[in-house]
Structure 1
Amino acid sequence: MRILFAGTPEVAVPSLRALVDAGFDVAGVLTRVDAPLGRRKVLTPSPVAAAAEELGLPVLKANRFTQELIAELDELDLDAAAIVAYGGIVPPAGLRIPRHGWINLHFSVLPAWRGAAPVQHSVLAGDDVTGASTFLLEEGLDTGPVFGVMTETLDPGSTSGELLERLSHSGAVLLVQTLSGIDTGQVTATPQTGEATLAPKLTIDDARIDWSQPAVAVRRRINAVTPEPGAWTLLEGQRVKVGPVTPAAERSGPPGTTGPDGASLTEGEPGPRALVPGEVGVEGRAVLVGTGTAPVQLGQVQPAGKKMMGALDWARGAAARGELVFE
């Protein structure tokens, strides 16, 4: 089967490698143009471009479908095109080029979370089950009929980055199976059914923590925007980045168990002192922050102009300024 592969970020690389390993004839790899990265803004090839060059595959770089690009693709005599997080819209003229169309690997169980950030919204919503789907690309936003679906239970402690890493590998297997089935005529697409939900890209404003929310909502938001765009809050008017948090264990419990600071608990021992939303407190080696319900325990913190550090090291240094309250 002669295919085009379209993708840009690291999450698309496992699919490209899996298709090559499965023996597909990859006639070309379409990715976005080199982008400036780092403080020096050095033009850098996309992860997919780098992988394609390593594999000896021809690379086409474009951020949009021009007449010239459409003509180049038309000359490739494609049976199908596989697309994974390319980052651009395929126009009708491009959709018509491959004989079997464009098969999109999307990281959600469609029709849930159509859009640019399905994994982030799944984490933010606290879904019990997540997964990936392969579907036939059409003009609507992720509306095409579905070829296949894989699912997994969503661990409430998973960040979007961790979940996307797992789905990039399991989804690659699904994509290979889908294209193989299309090639042999054993797989057909079926229309999406059920209520559709949308997953627009999360912004910096979406990443701000509202400490007045319940602890479970605070944790979900932080996990959803980790690693990008990164959860943040304000301290004395300065932006502070916050890594994933965990629920603060109650300090009362059966003998032999431990609390958030690692200390042994005894029956009837009092829990953490009450913290108002955003208030920071240190108990032993645990750094806690008040929310609308129970406190959460900080893992890592990045003050303005500094590197990410352990919460306890940060709290010890910041304590000299007096009471700490996130805004």
Structure 2
Amino acid sequence: MRIVFAGTPDVAVPSLDRLVLAGFTVVGVLTRPDARVGRKRAITPSAVAARAEELGIPVLKAARITPEVVARLQEWTPEAAAIVAYGGIVPPAALAIPRHGWINLHFSLLPAWRGAAPLQYSVIHGDDVVGASTFRLEEGLDTGPVFGTVALTPGPEATSGQLLAQLADAGAELLAQTLTGVAEGRLEPRPQAGEPTFAPKLTLEDGRLDWSLPAVALHRRARGVTPEPGAWTMLGADRFKLEPPRLRPDIEGIEPGHLAWADKSLVVGTGTHALELTRVQPAGKKMMAAADWARGAGNIEGTVLG
């Protein structure tokens, strides 16, 4: 079957590789334009663009699907389109091109967490199970009927980045199986059932930790926003970045945001029990062990984050 693949970040690369391995004819790849990345702000192609070029697949770079992009997609004459984290809306004119439609790999168990940051919200809200779904793309936000799902139980310290890496591989297999079933005419999607929840794009402010909240809620949020946009707080007038802290239910009585030593560990008070800081990044410095930073900073007793 002839397919177009649409995707942009690293998480979409396993799906492209799996579809090629499965024998699909990938006639072209649609991805976002090159962007400035890293401290040097070097102009860099997307992960999907780089992989497609290695595979010798034609690449079309577009921030949005214009009439010109639609015309190019029509020239490729795909029978189906696979989409994984492309980062743009597919208009009706493009949806109508492949006879089998656009099949989206989405990183939630739909209808839970429709939107741009599904897995992050799963972690922030403490879902017992996370997963991915393949569904037929429609004009609505992740509203289309579902072909299949894959699920896993997150570990107690798992970050959204770690879970996304796992689901990128599992989801790639699910996407290949879905397209195979569609090509063979034996797989039909089913309407989504249940009340939807929504996961809008995370902003930098979503990573800010409010130490008056319960420790469990802060632990979930820090894991959910790692690696992007990242957890942080304020230290004086500067932003103070954090890797996810550890729960310390054995330590109570520290005021929210106040730092203290617990043996050789650096802890911070919350609305309930303490959290142990693991690694921190003060302004202008690299990420380092929290205890090493505190020893270098001098007397931290009485220092307040927030």
**How far is the alpha carbon of 1:249 from its aligned partner?**
5.4
Q: Distance in 2 between matches of 1:127 and 1:39?
A: 35
Length-normalised TM-score, structure 1: 0.91
The AA in structure 2 aligned to 1:187 is L
**Contact persistence 2:9–2:46 (CA under 8 A):** yes
Percent identity over the alignment? Answer: 61
Larger-gyration structure (1/2): 1
What is aligned with 2:220? Answer: 220
Correspondence 1:242-321 to 2 at 5 A: 242-248=242-248, 250=250, 272=251, 274-320=253-299
Q: Distance in 2 between matches of 1:66 and 1:200?
A: 24
Q: Distance in 1 between matches of 2:174 and 2:300?
A: 53
What is aligned with 1:110? Answer: 110
Unaligned runs of 5+ in 2: none
Q: Distance in 1 between matches of 2:277 and 2:222?
A: 11
**How far is the alpha carbon of 1:18 from its aligned partner?**
0.5
**Contact persistence 1:117–1:201 (CA under 8 A):** yes
**Contact persistence 1:248–1:297 (CA under 8 A):** yes
**Contact persistence 1:247–1:297 (CA under 8 A):** yes
**How far is the alpha carbon of 1:204 from its aligned partner?**
1.0
Q: Distance in 2 between matches of 1:276 and 1:74?
A: 62
**How far is the alpha carbon of 1:322 from its aligned partner?**
5.4
What is aligned with 1:61? Answer: 61
Q: Secondary structure at the match of 1:147?
A: strand
**How far is the alpha carbon of 1:186 from its aligned partner?**
1.2
Q: Secondary structure at the match of 2:182?
A: helix
Q: Secondary structure at the match of 1:75?
A: helix
What is aligned with 2:14? Answer: 14
The AA in structure 1 aligned to 2:289 is G
What is aligned with 2:92? Answer: 92
**How far is the alpha carbon of 1:285 from its aligned partner?**
2.0
Q: Distance in 2 between matches of 1:155 and 1:110?
A: 21
Deviation digits for residues 254-290 of structure 1, max 9, x if unmatched? xxxxxxxxxxxxxxxxxx4621111111122211111
Q: Distance in 1 between matches of 2:118 and 2:221?
A: 14
Length-normalised TM-score, structure 2: 0.98
Count of residues paired in the alignment: 306
| Larger deviation, residues 234-243 vs 13-22 | 234-243
1:101–1:3 Cα change, 3 Å: same
**How far is the alpha carbon of 1:68 from its aligned partner?**
1.5
Q: Distance in 2 between matches of 1:54 and 1:143?
A: 34
